[in-house]
A and B are shown apart, each in its own frame.
Chain A
Amino acid sequence: MRLEPREKPSLLITFAYPALAILAVFVFAGFLVSLSGANPFSVFGLVLKGAAGSQFALFETLTRATPLIFTGLAAAVAFRAKLWNIGAEAQLYMGAVATVVFGTGMLPLPSPVLIPILLIVATLAGALTLLGPAFLKVRFGVDEVVTTLLLNFIVILFVSLLLEGPLKDPMGMGWPQTKKVIAEAQLPKLIQGKRLHFGFILALIAAVAVWIINTRTALGYEMKAVGFNPRASRFAGMKVDRVMLKTALLSGGLAGLAGLSEVSGLKGNLTLDLSPGFGYAGIVVAMLALLHPLGVVAAAIFVAGIFVGADAMSRAAQVPSYIAQVMVASALLAMVTAVMFTRYRLRWK
């Protein structure tokens, strides 16, 4: 049994295999659901209803998708250049820290001035967080998977230090949380009274911007070339190290924006449960999207929908909401397998 590359995958195969992958996920999840004694069809119906069955559900899904779009883009940008940034979680928290440092009254400015400033500092905070590991990688060959992953824990402990110390809200009844950002620092809601906020629009803009960078700019071209073959890129005259550092800045910056968007758009302050693993989920989102920036938007909404839908379903059907994580994880595996089969065919001898 071995794999033979396909010369040209047909259009049918390109779409059929990913569709098959999604189907396989529902069959597998359906099997697990029926083990727990519920009817899979009604459970999936409830998931769908919870994710998109009402205006409230839909807005909730899009709200949840917003940080995932940012972290998904962060992973997609980095992975395309083969910079394995596993540290979007840390970069997100650093972006959030920057937001509360500058957004809780230190700069008493009107919104149109303050929000752009916050965008810049949050981007910088995320970008600089990844710059360290990227520098260690290009200068000393230190594996960035290890450094970015471990930096997550360091940053989260650092944030917890800040929450117990300098950034602790004096009026917070002793809870480890920061002050709320001032009104001028809040991202406007898209619709009065709903949770969906302007961060979602920012995420869409970011996706389009990354798409343009990837396809139209010299930097996007360099990142692609360096990702595929750094040696040939260097031979042709690209400054591979510098491309890596630029990639790190872009990727870290995008993850930093996720932190800003969550604090200024949704939560108002920084706590340790700001992110239930958005940084890690971004990796899944980017892989599901095959690293395509517009695909990231779709994949983020898909993943957010399953999580939001499963929460609603578990309240109604008594099936644990962990099924959402099983579904997302198996979707990733199925999609990766499907993509392999669009590029290769299996031979039985």
Chain B
Amino acid sequence: MTDTVLSLDRISKRFGALLANDAISFDLKQGEIVALLGENGAGKTTLMNILFGHYVADDGSISVFGESLPPGQPRAAIQAGIGMVHQHFTLADNLTVLDNIMLGTEKPWRLSSRKSEARQRLTKLAQDFGLAIEPDKTVADLSVGERQRVEILKVLYREARILILDEPTAVLTPQESQSLFATLKKLTAQGLSIIFISHKLNEVLNVSERIFVLRAGKLVAERPTKGTTRKELAELMVGRPIAEPKIEPQPKGDVHVAIRAVTTADGLDHADLVLHGGEILGLAGVSGNGQTALANLLSGLSHPKSGSLHIFGEDAARWTPDLVTRKRIARIPEDRHAEGLVADMSVTENVIAEIYREPRFNKRGFLDWRAAEGFAEEIIKGFDVKCPSPATRVRLLSGGNMQKLILGRTLSLAPHFILACQPARGLDIGAVSYVHERLIQARKSGASVLLISDDLDEILALADRVAVIYRGRISEPLPSQQVTIQELGLMMAGHGFSEGDAHAA
């Protein structure tokens, strides 16, 4: 069990001025799960893309099962027994499981397809590895967990001996994640080796045997999982000590937002939610259960088909984004690239996007760019946005700095209600704690915060109360001290939503 199956020797890759991988070496033994831990931009994905032949390393070499792997050839990597399960699934929704798995394994010029043979092999694989699957079901009808199983089977079908899983739990409930981990253990028991890429500390501690920590393109540490702690890993990842957020209890204020039995065309189904001033309410849920619909509703992008929506005591059912901004509601959008910012415009142009109609920037239809630039400089300073000048195109900023820019733009409204959708998604730990601090500050000053997040740790760390959204309906919020991750996980899978089963059928 100690044979080395894969070794990377001083792999380096440079993109322009950025050294994405700096002489990284590590090895993988048979039957082992190693975790590759690092923040976004640490170089995890680059390294795996080099391994899989999508990129060619500037320097260094790779050997698989003792033989060196030719660079830049995904086909060679597959033949050598390397299989990659991507974060975003690469399945054809309209084909069956079997078709998806066979796709690309047959020679294109062969006229007859050997389906029954393939079916036999697939069934055997599924049995051997305990990955229950129905080969004739259409992928569109599968749950997310099942789709991931298909992805893994697809790789196994191609006779992979080394599996790379890139952020595999991003779309799973805690329970589905647990069953994935059990599957991975089964695979290694059969002699497969696994590289598990993640930035979630708990998972990495849960599943791996050894942990490699990447930071800014360098391999900064190797730790046996048994001999390390969450805190140590976090600090290795960031490179400095981290303070956990502190939230002091405080009394609830007036009702700020009241959603009653709201149904919308894009996915809310008789949703109820009441939000008070001075509290952070966390909304958990598996992505795609109506979070976006709720965010659209509160942003003024969509309107209720039935039910009522009141914000600050006013009927807000017909509010538009323009009016929502004028009512001093801050919104942190889920997708900062698609919805938050116009990447090809400058920092200045972006920070005034919500408020350029105000008289201080807008003189009879003409914009006062000097005032706008002053405002941009205020935000750059006040929110610690790292950029060369207000004229910099936003595209050139890092994800964290983009998020700070959005935060600065929207919090400068002096909001009483903050809608924060996945505010920490994709940010490094430093930026995450900055965002969280700002939300805690807002709560302290009496604002209400609705925190919609896929990350249960984030919700439990920040929220006063927690609710779960499932198939467009929202559970009764519970005080966050009284719920456990396990309970939330069950609710995220639909437990306690009795009506929902009827809807589902």
Contact = CB atoms under 8 A, between A and B. Distances in A.
B365 A232 contact: no
A267 interface: no
B142 interface: no
A231 to B, nearest CB: 5
Interface stretch (A125-133, A218-226, A250-258, A325-333): A218-226
Contact of A235 (B301, B323, B366, B369): B301
Contact of B367 (A217, A235, A349): A217
A7 interface: yes
A228 B367 contact: no
Contact of B353 (A231, A236, A349): A236
A221 B321 CA distance: 18
Contact of B345 (A216, A217, A224, A238): A224
Contacts, number: 75
A72 B363 CA distance: 29
A271 to B, nearest CB: 40
Contacts of A217: 365-367
B338 A216 contact: no
A160 interface: no
Interface stretch (B144-152, B157-165, B286-294, B354-362): B354-362
A239 B353 contact: no
Interface string B324-368: 110000010100001111111100010001101100001001110
Interface in A230-253: 231-239
Interface residues of A, number: 21
Q: Which of A216, A237, A238 counts the most B-chain CB atoms under 10 A from its CB?
A: A237
B56 A349 contact: yes
B299 interface: yes
A228 B344 CA distance: 7
B322 interface: yes
B70 interface: no
A104 to B, nearest CB: 36
Nearest to B341: A232
Contacts of A235: 299, 301, 321, 331, 333, 339-340
Contacts of A234: 301, 321
Contacts of B15: 4
B485 interface: no
Nearest to A215: B369
A216 B82 CA distance: 56
B324 A237 contact: yes
A233 B344 CA distance: 12
Contact of A237 (B325, B333, B365, B396): B325
Given A216-B367, A237-B320, A349-B72, A232 B338 contact: yes
Given A233-B353, A237-B321, A225 B342 contact: yes
Interface string A308-337: 000000000000000000000000000000
B343 A218 contact: no
A221 B356 CA distance: 9
A233 B341 CA distance: 8
A134 to B, nearest CB: 21
B16 interface: yes
Interface in B61-78: 72
B338 A225 contact: no
A229 interface: yes
Interface string B280-315: 000000000000000000011100000000000000
Contacts of A216: 366-367, 369
A218 B366 contact: yes
A216 B363 CA distance: 10
B371 to A, nearest CB: 13
A7 B299 CA distance: 34
Contacts of B353: 225, 232-233, 236-238
A221 B357 CA distance: 11
Q: Which of B301, B333, B366 counts the most A-chain CB atoms under 10 A from its CB?
A: B366
A316 to B, nearest CB: 47
Given A225-B345, A234-B321, A218 B333 contact: no
A4 B15 CA distance: 9
B327 to A, nearest CB: 11
Contacts of A219: 365
A333 to B, nearest CB: 23
Nearest to B340: A232
A342 to B, nearest CB: 14
A245 B63 CA distance: 60
B360 to A, nearest CB: 13
Interface string B12-30: 0001110000000000000
A233 B323 CA distance: 14
A239 B362 CA distance: 16
Interface string A10-54: 000000000000000000000000000000000000000000000
Nearest to B18: A7
B365 A236 contact: no
A59 B140 CA distance: 66
A265 B17 CA distance: 57
A7 B339 CA distance: 23
Contacts of A232: 338-342, 353
Contact of B357 (A218, A224, A225): A218
Contact of A221 (B16, B331, B367): B367
Nearest to B56: A349
A28 B184 CA distance: 61
B338 A236 contact: no
B338 A231 contact: yes
Given A7-B396, A237-B321, A239-B322, A218 B339 contact: no
A234 B340 CA distance: 10
A133 B301 CA distance: 25
B349 A225 contact: yes
Nearest to B320: A237
Contacts of B325: 236-237
B340 A218 contact: no
A216 B300 CA distance: 28
B349 A221 contact: yes
A2 to B, nearest CB: 10
A236 B336 CA distance: 12
Contacts of B343: 228-229
Contacts of B354: 236-237
Contacts of A228: 342-345
Contacts of B345: 224-225, 228
Interface string A195-226: 00000000000000000000011110100110
Q: Which of A4, A7, A217, A218 counts the most B-chain CB atoms under 10 A from its CB?
A: A218
Nearest to A212: B366
A4 B301 CA distance: 36
Contacts of B369: 216
A217 B369 CA distance: 10
A213 to B, nearest CB: 9
Given A228-B344, A231-B339, 7 more contacts: A4-B16, A221-B356, A228-B342, A229-B344, A234-B321, A235-B301, A237-B325
21 contacts: A7-B396, A216-B366, A218-B356, A225-B345, A225-B349, A225-B353, A228-B343, A228-B344, A229-B341, A232-B339, A232-B341, A235-B299, A236-B321, A236-B325, A236-B354, A237-B320, A237-B321, A237-B323, A237-B353, A349-B56, A349-B72
Which 6 A-B residue pairs are closest in the complex by CB-CB distance? A237-B322, A236-B353, A237-B321, A229-B342, A235-B339, A228-B344
Interface of B: 15-17, 56, 72, 299-301, 320-325, 331, 333, 338-345, 349, 353-354, 356-357, 362, 365-367, 369, 396
